Amino acid sequence: MLHVAQPADPYRLATVVPLSIRDRSEPPPTGSAAARSAIPARIPRARGPVRRWRRMTHPHGGFEPAVDVLGGGDGAGRGRMVPIVSIDRHNGLASGPAAPGTCRLAGTPGNPMNIIIVDDEANIRRTLRVALEAAGHGVREAASGAEALAELGRRPCDAALVDLRLGGESGLDLIGPLREHAPRLAVVVITAHASIGSAVEAMRRGADDYLPKPFTPAEVRAVLDRVARQRGLRDRVEALEDLVRREVPEAELDARDPAMARVLELARRVAPTDAAVLLRGESGTGKGVLARALHSWGGRAGGPFVTVSCPSLGAELLESELFGHVKGAFTGAVRDTVGKVAAAEGGTLFLDEVGDLPVALQPKLLRFLQGKRYERVGEAAERQADVRLIAATNRDLEAMVAAGTFREDLLYRLNVLEVALPPLRERSDRLELADRMLAFFAGQTGRRLSGFTAEAREAIGRHPWPGNLRELRNAVERAAILAEGPEVGLADLPGRVARGPAGPGVSNAVEVGGPVTLEELEVEHIRQVLAASASLEEAAQVLGVDPSTLFRRRRKHGL
Ligand SMILES: Nc1ncnc2c1ncn2[C@@H]1O[C@H](COP(=O)(O)OP(=O)(O)OP(=O)(O)O)[C@@H](O)[C@H]1O
C-alpha cells in the first residue's frame, strides 16, 4: 500500500509524494513500479530511482526509500535548494521536492550555528543532519553522552539537540554535564515520549527548549530560531553589561565608613519586605544606586525596576507618565499608554526626588499607596497593581509639610522605613572611593595611573563635596583624562577642589570676571539660587528655565 505523506509545511512541500511502502515483509524490487513511484522522476538532482530500501520502525512494518539528499546547489551560487524532508512519526523520511521552479532557497540563513546532534539512532541523526545542513547550519553527531562531551571538548558548538532516550542513558542526565562543559551551549531535548512532565523536567535541568517527536522541518527550524534568538539576546545583554561595567564604576556597596556600613546593613534587612522605603540624603549620595540594590536584594529582583523622576515633568504629564492614559484623554494623547506603574508590575517603582512631586498629584499618589489602585488618565476603570514602592528625596519633607507643600499623610505612607545616606564629606572612606574610581577610569581610558599625589589626596580629603559621590566621580573621571601621569596631581583636579577652602587672605569665591570657567560660574549661580528658593519651581523661575531643564542641570553638576 502506498502511504501518502501530508505536507507539514505548505510553503515547502509543494508536492505530495509517495512516502513508503507498507505491509510488505520484503522490500520491493528496485525496478518495480512501487520503486519507480516512490520517488517521482521529476525530482531534480535526486539520486535516481530507489536503489536501497530500509525497514521502517513503524509497528505496521513496511519499507521506505533510502533517499538521503534530494537537493543540491541551485546553480546560481545562491545557496542550496532545500531538500524537502519531513520526519514522520515513525522516523521515516517523507521526502519530496517542490515542483520545478517552486523550490525554496535557504542559502543565507539568518543565524547559522554549529549544532551537535546527540542521538543513539543513526537514522534520526542523518535525517536531522539533512534538515539542519539544508538550513545552513554546521552539524556534528554523537551517538552517546560520552561521545558528545568528547566532541565538544574538541570543538565548541552553539546548540545541542539531545534525544531523551540515548540507549541505556537518559538525555536528561546529560544536560547538567553539557552545561558544565559548555555553559554557553543551547540545549534542546528531543523525544518521542513527549509529555508535559518530561518537558518541565528538561527545562528544570537547564534545557533551553524542547522538541517533541514527531516533528517536521518547520518545527526544527522554529525551535532553532528560538534558540538563536535567545542566544542573540543573551549576547546583547552580555555586551551591554560589559559596556555598563566599562562606562560606570561599580557602585561600592561594602562601605568601610561605619555610618554607611550601618545604612547598608539596614537596607539589606528591609530589602526582602514589601514595605515602602524612603531614602533620604543629599543629592548624589547614591540614593538611586541604593534603590536598585534594594530591588535586587529582595524577592522582586526578577521583576522590573522602573524609575520616575518626579521633577522632570509637569503635573499632568507626570500623572500620565505614572498611571498611563487612554487615547484622546488630552491634546496629544494619540494612543493608549500603560504608564510606569503598569510597567513596574511584579517589580519595584522608584520615585526619585519625591519631594518635587507636584501638589496636585499628591492625593493620587496617596490613594495609590493606600490600596495599590489607580486609574489611567481619561478612564474610569480602576486598576490594581502589584508594585513595591521606593522613594527618594534630598528635601526636608517635614519642613515642606509645615509649609503646606507636601501632604503629611503622604509622607507617613512613604516613610514606613527610612534609610538616610550620609553625605560624602562625613564619610571616612572617601579617599578609598576616589582610588577605586581612579583605577576604574584609568582602565577605561587605557591610562597607566598609579594614584593621587600627596597634595591631590589632601585636596580630596578636605573638599566638602557638595555634589557627593556624583561630584567625586566627575572629578576623578576628568582627572584621569587630563593627568599626564603616572600620578594624578593637584592641577588635574577641578579648580574648586584644588583651590581648597578660602583661608585668611585667600579668596576662593567664584566671582564674575574672576579666573573661573563659565561652567564654574553656572554651577555656583544655580547653587545659590537653589539655596535661596523655597521650591524647585521658584528656582527655575528665577533662573528663567523650565523645571525639567533645572533638574537636568542639577544632575549634570551634582547639585
Ligand atoms: N556606592 C557607590 N559607589 C560608587 N559610586 C556611587 C555609589 N553610589 C552612587 N555612586 C555614583 O554617584 C552618582 C550619583 O548616584 P545616585 O544617582 O544614586 O545619587 P542620588 O542620591 O540618587 O542623587 P540625586 O539625589 O541627585 O538623584 C552616580 O553617578 C553613581 O555612579
* pLDDT of amino acid 534: 67
Give the number of other CB atoms < 10 A from CB of residue 114.
14
Question: Which residue from 254, 264, 289, 395 has its CB within 8 A of the most atoms of ligand 1, so it is best to mutate?
Answer: 289
* pLDDT of amino acid 327: 85
Instruction: Specify the residue with its C-alpha closest to ligand 1, atom 29.
Output: 470
Segment among 82-96, 141-155, 387-401 with least mean pLDDT: 82-96
Regarding the beta carbon of 252 and ligand 1, being less than 6 Å apart is answered yes
What is the whole-number distance in angstroms between the Cα of residue 295 and the centre of ligand 1? 16
- The residue assigned the cell 519595584 is 348
Q: Which atom of ligand 1 is nearest to the CA of 558?
A: 26
Regarding the beta carbon of 284 and ligand 1, being less than 6 Å apart is answered yes
Residue 374 host element (H or E)? strand 373-374
Residue 99 DSSP class? P
Regarding the beta carbon of 473 and ligand 1, being less than 6 Å apart is answered yes
Helix (H, G, I), strand (E, B) or coil at 148: helix
What is the whole-number distance in angstroms between the Cα of residue 522 and the centre of ligand 1? 22
Which three cell numbers mark 291?
534603590
Nearest-angstrom CA–CA distance, 225 and 208: 12
410-460 pLDDT tens trace: 999 999 999 999 999 999 999 999 999 999 889 887 888 999 999 999 999
pLDDT band at residue 488, thresholds of 50, 70 and 90?
very high
Helix (H, G, I), strand (E, B) or coil at 472: helix
Phi then psi for 116, rounded to 5 degrees?
-105, 130
Segment among 113-117, 224-228, 308-312, 401-405 with least mean pLDDT: 308-312
Q: Which atom of ligand 1 is nearest to the CA of 283?
A: 25
Regarding the beta carbon of 287 and ligand 1, being less than 6 Å apart is answered yes
SS3 content of the chain, % helix, strand, coil (to 5): 40, 15, 40
What is the whole-number distance in angstroms between the Cα of residue 288 and the centre of ligand 1? 6
The mean per-residue pLDDT over the stretch 189-209 comes to 81
326-356 pLDDT tens trace: 888 787 777 888 889 999 999 999 999 899 8
Instruction: Specify the residue with its C-alpha closest to ligand 1, atom 7.
Output: 251
Side chain identity, residue 65: P
Regarding the beta carbon of 339 and ligand 1, being less than 6 Å apart is answered no
Which three cell numbers mark 433?
572611593
From the list 112, 60, 121, 114, the residue with the least C-alpha distance to 87 is 121
Instruction: Specify the residue with its C-alpha closest to ligand 1, atom 24.
Output: 283
The mean per-residue pLDDT over the stretch 111-121 comes to 88
Instruction: Enter the ipTM.
Output: 0.97
Regarding the beta carbon of 194 and ligand 1, being less than 6 Å apart is answered no
Q: Kindly calculate the radius of gyration of the chain based on its CA atoms and give it in whole angstroms.
A: 34
Which residues fall within 8 angstroms of residue 267, CB to CB, at 6 or more apart? Answer: 290, 293, 294, 297, 419
Torsion of CA 247, 249, 253, 255, to 10 degrees: -170
pLDDT band at residue 202, thresholds of 50, 70 and 90?
confident
For residue 124, what are the CA distances in angstroms to 92, 152, 170, 451? 9, 20, 17, 63
Segment among 76-85, 160-169, 472-481, 485-494 with least mean pLDDT: 76-85
Segment among 86-95, 115-124, 198-207 with least mean pLDDT: 86-95
Query: What mean pLDDT is reported for the chain?
Result: 76
- The residue assigned the cell 534568538 is 229
Phi then psi for 176, rounded to 5 degrees?
-60, -55
Instruction: Specify the residue with its C-alpha closest to ligand 1, atom 25.
Output: 283
Select the highest-mean-pLDDT range: 47-61, 194-208, 220-234, 472-486.
Answer: 472-486
What is the whole-number distance in angstroms between the Cα of residue 296 and the centre of ligand 1? 16
Pairing status of strand 53-55 against strand 63-65: antiparallel
- CATH number corresponding to 258-422: 3.40.50.300
* CB of 520 closer than 8 Å to CB of 496: yes
* pLDDT of amino acid 275: 92
- Residue 105 forms beta bridges with which residues? 81
* pLDDT of amino acid 312: 63
Regarding the beta carbon of 251 and ligand 1, being less than 6 Å apart is answered yes
- Residue 20 forms beta bridges with which residues? 3
Select the highest-mean-pLDDT range: 91-100, 146-155, 530-539.
Answer: 146-155
What is the percent of the chain with per-residue pLDDT over 70, rounded to a whole number?
75
What is the whole-number distance in angstroms between the Cα of residue 470 and the centre of ligand 1? 6
Which residues fall within 8 angstroms of residue 149, CB to CB, at 6 or more apart? Answer: 177, 178, 181
What is the whole-number distance in angstroms between the Cα of residue 558 and the centre of ligand 1? 9
Which residues fall within 8 angstroms of residue 505, CB to CB, at 6 or more apart? Answer: none
| Topology (CATH level 3) of domain 509-559 | Arc Repressor Mutant, subunit A (1.10.10)
* pLDDT of amino acid 502: 52
Regarding the beta carbon of 285 and ligand 1, being less than 6 Å apart is answered yes
* CB of 127 closer than 8 Å to CB of 93: yes
Regarding the beta carbon of 283 and ligand 1, being less than 6 Å apart is answered yes
pTM beyond 0.80: the answer is no
Instruction: Specify the residue with its C-alpha closest to ligand 1, atom 5.
Output: 251
What is the whole-number distance in angstroms between the Cα of residue 402 and the centre of ligand 1? 29
Domain segments of the chain as ranges = 1-104, 109-247, 258-422, 424-505, 509-559
Regarding the beta carbon of 244 and ligand 1, being less than 6 Å apart is answered no
Higher pLDDT, 415 or 12: 415
CATH H-level, domain 109-247: superfamily: Response regulator (3.40.50.2300)
Instruction: Specify the residue with its C-alpha closest to ligand 1, atom 8.
Output: 286
- The residue assigned the cell 535541568 is 205
Which residues fall within 8 angstroms of residue 217, CB to CB, at 6 or more apart? Answer: 8, 9, 12, 84, 85, 86, 87, 131, 134, 135
What is the whole-number distance in angstroms between the Cα of residue 471 and the centre of ligand 1? 9
Q: Please list the alpha-helical segments (H only) found in 248-343.
A: 258-270, 287-297, 315-323, 339-343
* pLDDT of amino acid 59: 44
Q: Which atom of ligand 1 is nearest to the CA of 289?
A: 18
Is the CATH number 1.10.1060.10 carried by domain 424-505?
Answer: no
Nearest-angstrom CA–CA distance, 6 and 3: 9
242-294 pLDDT tens trace: 666 666 655 667 788 999 999 999 999 999 999 999 999 998 899 999 999 99
The mean per-residue pLDDT over the stretch 146-175 comes to 89
Check for a shared fold between 109-247 and 258-422. yes
366 pLDDT more than 60: yes
* pLDDT of amino acid 80: 30
Regarding the beta carbon of 420 and ligand 1, being less than 6 Å apart is answered no
